[in-house]
Chain A
Amino acid sequence: MNPAAFYPTSTDILRFLPELILTIGGVVLLVLEALTGDHKDKSSLGYVSIGVVLAAMFAVPVALANPGVSFNGMIVSDGFAAFFRMVTLLVGLFTLLCSTSYLTREKSNSGEFYLLVLFSLAGQGIMASSNELIMVFLGLEIASISSYVLAGFLRDDKRGSEAALKYFLLGSFATAFFLYGISWIYGVTGATNLWAIRDALAKGTEAPSMVVAAAALMLVGLAFKVSAAPFQVWAPDVYQGAPAPISGFLSAGPKAAAFAIFIRIFQTSFDSLSSRYEPILWVLALATMLVGNFSALWQSDVKRMLGYSSIAHAGYVLVAVTTHSNVGTAGAMFYLASYALMNYGAFAAITHISGRGEKYVRMDDLKGLASKQPVLAALLTVCLLSLTGVPLTAGFFGKFYIFKSAIDHQMYWLSALGLLNSAVAAYYYLRVISAMYMYEPETTEHPGPVPAGIQLTMWCSAAGILTLGVFPGLVLDYANRFATFVK
């Protein structure tokens, strides 16, 4: 190979621009943090990080305007990648907006928090756009390691530390599975590039069982990351224990990125194995929906309930992945985007309601919220109705497209059972709504006025939910156009 090919060209850099901005921004923040000293108010660093994320968002269309692979096929800039970059950046933006006031409230405002979010976002961006198993692994690790630290960011909080440790141990175990899968597939095909693997497998290999085993190992690793049953046990503990803005971040951002790479690997490299892994995904999807929904029914802690609900939602997306089709991929893309809006909206509300030290996170603590803070309650209701899947919200169209793709592919039982599952889900979301609207307040303590960042997040997510609920085409047309990235 010509050594000159190792020097990145300017197009290479443009295709990688969002992650580059995030990384540089993170490093700059690291320096700024050291320069500002201990006593200063660190909220200003939060505003800088918001600026960095906005810049990265503007860089996404730039990367999309230069489609193609860069760095010798390591990174690919296509519509699919741009879509997931945008979703994860949006989640990151929401997280930063909600975090400044949260960290001030919890008296642990420091610059590391913001730069860890930026690094995690860079990792997620790499996951969304990588075209190469080693890059996938790198992205996964960058995103995960930052997330482990973020989960335990409040060092004095026992539950947070427990969450971080659990997340770290189980997460690294899962990544090890994934890495082991990579090494096997490299052994069989001699390649780590997704397209090269697909071509090698299409030609036929000497050890087909090894390929299946490798795919299975990678499936385990990815199933952990998207919290699919039976690899979901970490999720509720982590989402309950982590700081509320980070719970929202973890349940929407890294999950979307993990789904992106899940879909990309299995529809590119392992395309020829689709008939073998479809039945497995079928079972995984159903099990994930069942475990998520039925466990959420009994929860009295709202954060934990949302944790289980996020498992259930991963199950719905898995239904779309199971179809192994462009329509299904587009459905999953739409769903993950709307899920990011509605789930983050819900966590933003919890961030505020929970109060200092996150004392008020039980269902009972929400009682009478509608009379104390009608606007916050109304916006949270919009998010919850969307999570339930009531028409005229984004969540409904998400479910609709997913189950439509499943029925298109003759998966009638999976669709019927999945849809009934979402009726079960209605029960636990309604518990929150009924607590807010149908009871008198139990606590006399008023949560203070809603901080501007949280308000902005909630208005944005509610507006997004309702807009996509009436005009789903705004996002779906895009998803449909770019779901065809491999075929």
Chain B
Amino acid sequence: MNILAVLLILPFLGFVAALVLPASVTKRFVLAFSLFIFGVSLLLIGTVQMRPAVMSWVTDTAWIDTPAIRFHIGLDGTSLWLVLLTTFLVPMAAYLSQRTILHRPKEFFAYLLLLEFGLIGVFSSLDLFLYYVFWEVVLVPMYFLIGIWGGPKRVYAATKFFVYTMAGSMLMLAAILFIYTKAGTFDLPAILLQLEMGKISFTQAEELGLFLAFFLAFAVKVPIFPLHTWLPDAYAEAPTGATLLMAAVLSKMGTYSLLRFNLNLFPRASHDCAPWIVALAIIGIVYGALVALVQPNMKRLVAYSSISHLGFVVLGIFSGNQFGLDGAVYQMLCHAISTGALFILIGYLEERNKSLEIADFGGIATPAPNFAAVFLVATLASIGLPLLNNFVGEFLILQGAAQANIWWAAFAALGVVLSACYMLWFYQRTFFGEAKVQMADLAPREWLTITPLLVLMLWMGIFTQTWLPGISASNKVLLDRPMPKTVAMEVTK
């Protein structure tokens, strides 16, 4: 039996079960079930880690005959970790929400599982059409999660999120259809093979158009400057559990897809467009950091810092070398862990003080020393202190960028400096100074949630060998892919 196929179907079955079960047990059922799914997903690691360069756990059967759409899923060294990230964070979001979601809890927890279904599908699909289906499936539960349980501007934020993403993905659908008319298949490996063999080829203009259609869809999702305007609203308005998943996992859909589809399918256009995209990424890094500096709202501050961090990931991807790509994938995971931790901790602060304004806090370190210590670790991780996770990712990305063009690295490094400014200033205003509020320290259940994340921050910062070899191997496959034949001839001319 194929564990990946089972893993993909389980959340959907759970979603249906959650809808049918009586409301009183839904939240506990979803927590238990998502933990079970996490357990199942751990079984995937061994096989993929042995041969990370090829696809493991492949299921490839026909779904629809005309046009030929296949149910083709599989994992390599990169997508494995993103699937695990999903299965790890969904139970966490479910646990976090046990006490905080009191309004219509049944639907909330059911949507978490539907979201997990879509996310696992996105990270494991190897058929363009199947991938697109999951890409859109993610939208629906997320729309409801923001719109029903969000803050005061939730409907606005949810609609903005939905329409933005939909507009982006429509162009991608057109591009997918165009590729189908050329290749006669939606199957990614089959298309790549045809490209390599020179059976199909895109003219430069076609390739550029297709590249941009895919790129726009992903750029909205990441988001890349200047398509980021939905993000602060959505992150700030969503409930903590949903923000966690959005910041940690949903943003990775965009960066992962850039890596998986844009670089693989359109190597030439990726190369040609890299300077422009890197320019946008660097603007995003600096702009996100500068706006974060002046945010009075904690959630918005971390949301803007996310724009900055994700700029690094995009920079790494379009550096187009081993260091850059490895760093980008590593940073995807690191950002998920450290930003996830920050959003969780901010959620705890909000629970205690019913406010997200930095000005309403101060001097928390005195009544809640443990909270302050944990928050400091997450802050330092986010800044990129050595021995913590983000350092590794950002270091590799900057190294890759420097290899491609030293100026890219120089400008991007500004972002690292600025991140220290806004995060430490934020920390200082919130935790030091005159105590404005009396506040309880971390409760046992809060320790339970945050400890795994702290462990991962250290683990990813120190024992990089657990993760990197698999990631490197699958990136190497991408980098070693020969330029498509017809294009290669043009280059030699």
Contact = CB atoms under 8 A, between A and B. Distances in A.
B174 A434 contact: no
A107 to B, nearest CB: 37
B490 interface: no
Nearest to A416: B174
Nearest to B177: A407
Nearest to B134: A391
Contacts of A439: 155
A295 interface: no
B174 A403 contact: yes
Contacts of A371: 104
A434 B147 contact: yes
Given A407-B177, A473-B65, A477-B66, A419 B170 contact: yes
Contacts of B154: 438
Contacts, number: 83
B444 interface: no
Contact of B137 (A391, A404, A427): A391
A223 B21 CA distance: 50
Range class of the A interface residue count: 20 to 34
Nearest to B164: A423
A464 to B, nearest CB: 17
Contact of A477 (B65, B147, B180): B65
A5 interface: no
Interface in B380-403: none
Interface string B125-138: 00000001110110
B166 A423 contact: yes
A412 interface: yes
B66 A412 contact: no
B144 A426 contact: no
A407 B174 contact: yes
Interface string B168-185: 001101100110110000
Range class of the B interface residue count: 20 to 34
A390 B140 contact: yes
A426 B166 contact: yes
Interface string B259-292: 0000000000000000000000000000000000
A434 B158 contact: yes
B163 A400 contact: no
B422 interface: no
B432 interface: no
A392 B137 contact: yes
Contact of A438 (B66, B140, B147, B178): B147
A423 B170 contact: yes
A420 B136 CA distance: 15
A419 B217 CA distance: 13
A480 B64 CA distance: 13
A400 B155 CA distance: 28
B171 A426 contact: no
A60 to B, nearest CB: 24
A123 interface: no
Contacts of A424: 163, 167
A176 B158 CA distance: 48
A404 B139 contact: no
B158 A438 contact: yes
Nearest to B146: A438
Contacts of B166: 388, 422-423, 426
A430 interface: yes
A427 B159 contact: yes
A354 to B, nearest CB: 23
B139 A390 contact: yes
A306 B169 CA distance: 24
Nearest to A480: B66
Contacts of B170: 419-420, 422-423
Interface in A423-443: 423-424, 426-427, 430-431, 434, 437-439
A438 B155 contact: yes
B458 to A, nearest CB: 40
Contact of A426 (B64, B137, B163): B163
Contact of B133 (A385, A392, A408, A480): A392
Interface in A386-423: 388, 390-392, 396, 400, 403-404, 407-408, 412, 415-416, 419-420, 422-423
22 contacts: A385-B140, A388-B166, A390-B136, A391-B132, A391-B133, A392-B133, A403-B173, A404-B180, A407-B177, A407-B180, A412-B174, A420-B170, A423-B166, A423-B167, A424-B163, A427-B159, A434-B155, A434-B159, A437-B147, A438-B154, A438-B155, A473-B65
User: Which 7 A-B pairs rank lowest in CB-CB distance, beginning with the nearest?
Assistant: A423-B167, A419-B170, A391-B133, A423-B166, A407-B177, A438-B147, A391-B136
Interface of A: 371, 385, 388, 390-392, 396, 400, 403-404, 407-408, 412, 415-416, 419-420, 422-424, 426-427, 430-431, 434, 437-439, 471-473, 476-477, 480
Given A391-B134, A430-B158, A430-B162, 16 more contacts: A371-B104, A385-B140, A390-B139, A391-B132, A403-B173, A407-B177, A408-B181, A412-B178, A427-B159, A430-B143, A437-B148, A438-B155, A438-B158, A473-B65, A473-B66, A476-B66
